[in-house]
């Protein structure tokens, strides 16, 4: 038998983070109440919001909407910040508020920024080396169990999952997104929530509503359970599409996925932050891998950030591995910071150096000297004083690869002297292999590596010179 008082049946949960819009978030809670025969009538349900750390009142005791059958409902407009505790009580007429009858409470509620974790294993997190990345109150997660909780590794824990479609087959480990969320919490001074929907080994077709789309539909369900509103999508996927055919259509299918998601969420400018694929170091023949397939996926990821508004990408080619394909825990800490800085720059307009160098133009006047220009260079590029043959750059024409004899770097430009003259159409690539050269060309200030690119055509400055 229920004792007199107020009971919350639906609405917010302990540890939940709400996405704010213009500094506030609206939330509805509802339930039932049981009147006491020891006090007079009417007996009214009240609710209030207090700051957990100080007990200071944020929203004063307010009468809730009283509904038939001893039910009640309250809609709260919560200011950005927290953490908050939401309290209820049942106040009989003529009784002071401090002596009202008991009511249920909801603890650790925050209003801040919400991000959905999507993609495959490097998004789910498979770093297995130890690293100091502890949980932090104010960084919470909607787990696969459908319950909000303090965010701790592994974020993709499948214990008690209510989403069979994205249960991992093995235990995941460390991911980039706890460090990502903690960085943003410090910089934005507000709680950060993570919504887990990733699955190790998943293919783009599982996320694309134009294909099988089972993880896409699951993602929509998870976002709805989180309140239906997000600040951005966190996406890290592509390894499962490094095969013939799939790699050629990746950009088109990724565009379909994002367009469908934005339309379904009624958020046509929803940002998406992604990662260009790292490397795969095992025997390619045994695993059925080819350099061309990996190169095309990386190129699609690079191009997507250029042609799709609201898509942003960070490099990972310099990140250490935990096994033959998964980023290490230390590497995930680096990625988390890179992604957080991208969000701060592109969503919150912070003046930060976050964008990696990217090829803009490659030209030749005589076929013996190639000039390569990059964007997103702060002072100058740096290639670790590598020997010309050790540069991660690859030049070819219809007759095959061409050796680089010497090079010179000035600002955002690299001039490459070739061992033989280009014959007609020619192309340049950078760290495009499945397991490319270790040392990248970097920005000397940010130390971000230049993006991998593949078969970028070298422009002849005059037709007569070809």
pLDDT at 466: 66
| Domain boundaries of the chain, sorted by first residue | 5-103, 111-346, 358-465
Average pLDDT, the chain: 95
Residues 373-421 pLDDT 10s: 999 999 999 999 999 999 999 999 999 999 999 999 999 999 999 999 9
Residue 444's pLDDT band (boundaries 50, 70, 90)? very high
Distance in angstroms (rounded) separating the CA atoms of residues 115 and 98? 39
Residues 353-362 pLDDT 10s: 999 999 999 9
pLDDT mean over 349-369:
96
Find the helix or strand (DSSP H, E) in which 304 lies: helix 291-307
Angle of helix 250-264 relative to helix 214-225, nearest 10 degrees?
A: 30
pLDDT at 167: 92
Neighbours of 319 (CB within 10 A): 22
Closest CA to 456 of 420, 405, 408, 416: 416
Distance in angstroms (rounded) separating the CA atoms of residues 367 and 421? 5
Q: Is residue 246 within 8 Å of 288, Cβ to Cβ? A: no
Residues 229-253 pLDDT 10s: 999 999 999 999 999 999 999 999 9
Residue 464, pLDDT above cutoff 90: no
Q: Is residue 358 within 8 Å of 372, Cβ to Cβ? A: no
Distance in angstroms (rounded) separating the CA atoms of residues 196 and 219? 9
Six-digit token string for 309: 């508004």
The yes-or-no answer to whether 5-103 and 358-465 have a common fold is: yes
- CATH architecture entry for 358-465: Sandwich (2.60)
pLDDT mean over 156-178:
94
Residue 462's pLDDT band (boundaries 50, 70, 90)? confident
What are the φ and ψ backbone dihedral angles of 204, each rounded to 5 degrees? -60, -35
Residues 83-138 pLDDT 10s: 999 999 999 998 888 889 999 999 999 999 999 999 999 999 999 999 999 999 99
Q: Is residue 50 within 8 Å of 57, Cβ to Cβ? A: yes
pLDDT at 283: 86
Closest CA to 188 of 231, 154, 226: 231
Homologous superfamily of the 111-346 domain (CATH): SGNH hydrolase (3.40.50.1110)
Distance in angstroms (rounded) separating the CA atoms of residues 363 and 461? 7
Name residues whose C-beta falls within 8 Å of residue 393's C-beta, 6 or more positions apart in sequence.
372, 404, 414, 416, 428, 429, 430, 441
pLDDT mean over 450-460:
97
pLDDT at 237: 97
Residue 1, pLDDT above cutoff 80: no
* For the chain, percent of residues with pLDDT exceeding 90: 94
Residue carrying the six token digits 């704010």: 20
Six-digit token string for 324: 């033959």
Class of domain 5-103: mainly beta
Residues 297-343 pLDDT 10s: 999 999 999 999 999 999 999 999 999 999 999 999 999 999 999 99
Distance in angstroms (rounded) separating the CA atoms of residues 105 and 183? 30
Residue 48, pLDDT above cutoff 90: yes
Six-digit token string for 119: 């993609």
For the chain, the first-to-last Cα distance in angstroms comes to: 90
Kindly list the distances between the CA atom of residue 327 and the CA atoms of 176, 281, 321, 396, 436, in Å, as whole numbers in the listed order.
9, 12, 4, 31, 15
Residues 180-231 pLDDT 10s: 999 999 999 999 999 999 999 999 999 999 999 999 999 999 999 999 999 9
Q: Is residue 416 within 8 Å of 397, Cβ to Cβ? A: no
Residue carrying the six token digits 């088109």: 252
Residue 465, pLDDT above cutoff 70: no
pLDDT at 98: 86
Which three-class secondary structure state does DSSP give residue 194? Answer: strand
Beta strands in 23-80 (DSSP E): 24-34, 43-51, 57-63, 65-67, 71-79
Which three-class secondary structure state does DSSP give residue 339? Answer: helix
pLDDT at 289: 80
């Amino acid at each position: 038998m229920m004792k007199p008082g107020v009971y919350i049946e639906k609405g917010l949960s302990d540890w939940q983070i709400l996405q704010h819009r213009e500094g506030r978030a609206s939330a509805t809670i509802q339930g039932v109440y049981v009147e006491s025969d020891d006090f007079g009538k009417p007996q009214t349900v009240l609710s209030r919001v207090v700051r957990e750390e100080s007990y200071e009142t944020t929203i004063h005791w307010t009468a809730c909407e009283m509904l038939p059958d001893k039910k009640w409902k309250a809609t709260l407009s919560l200011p950005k910040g927290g953490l908050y505790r939401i309290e209820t009580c049942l106040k009989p007429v003529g009784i002071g508020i401090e002596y009202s009858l008991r009511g249920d409470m909801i603890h650790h509620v925050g209003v801040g920024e919400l991000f959905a974790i999507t993609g495959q294993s490097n998004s789910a997190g498979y770093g297995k080396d130890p690293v100091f990345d502890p949980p932090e109150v104010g960084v919470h997660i909607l787990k696969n169990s459908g319950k909000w909780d303090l965010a701790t590794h592994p974020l993709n824990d499948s214990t008690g999952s209510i989403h069979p479609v994205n249960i991992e087959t093995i235990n995941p480990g460390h991911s980039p997104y706890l460090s990502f969320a903690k960085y943003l919490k410090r910089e934005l001074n507000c709680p950060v929530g993570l919504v887990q929907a990733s699955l190790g080994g998943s293919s783009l077709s599982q996320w694309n509503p134009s294909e099988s789309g089972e993880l896409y539909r699951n993602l929509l369900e998870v976002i709805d359970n989180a309140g239906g509103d997000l600040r951005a999508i966190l996406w890290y996927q592509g390894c499962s599409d490094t095969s013939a055919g799939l790699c050629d259509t990746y950009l088109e299918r990724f565009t379909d996925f994002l367009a469908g998601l934005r339309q379904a969420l009624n958020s046509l400018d929803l940002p998406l932050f992604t990662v260009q694929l790292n490397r795969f170091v095992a025997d390619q023949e045994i695993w059925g891998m080819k350099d061309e397939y990996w190169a095309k996926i990386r190129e699609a990821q690079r191009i997507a950030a250029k042609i799709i508004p609201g898509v942003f990408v960070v490099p990972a080619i310099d990140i250490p591995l935990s096994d033959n394909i998964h980023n290490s825990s230390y590497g995930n800490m680096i990625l988390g910071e890179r992604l957080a800085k991208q969000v701060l720059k592109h969503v919150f307009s912070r003046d930060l150096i976050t964008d990696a160098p990217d090829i803009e133009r490659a030209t030749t006047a005589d076929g013996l000297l190639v000039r390569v220009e990059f964007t997103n260079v702060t002072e100058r590029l740096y290639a670790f004083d590598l020997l010309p043959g050790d540069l991660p750059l690859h030049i070819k024409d219809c007759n095959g690869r061409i050796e680089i004899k010497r090079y010179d770097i000035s600002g955002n430009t690299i001039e490459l002297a070739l061992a033989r003259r280009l014959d007609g159409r020619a192309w340049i690539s950078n760290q495009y292999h499945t397991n490319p050269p270790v040392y990248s060309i970097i920005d000397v200030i940010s130390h971000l590596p230049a993006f991998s690119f593949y078969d970028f055509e070298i422009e002849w400055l005059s037709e007569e010179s070809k």
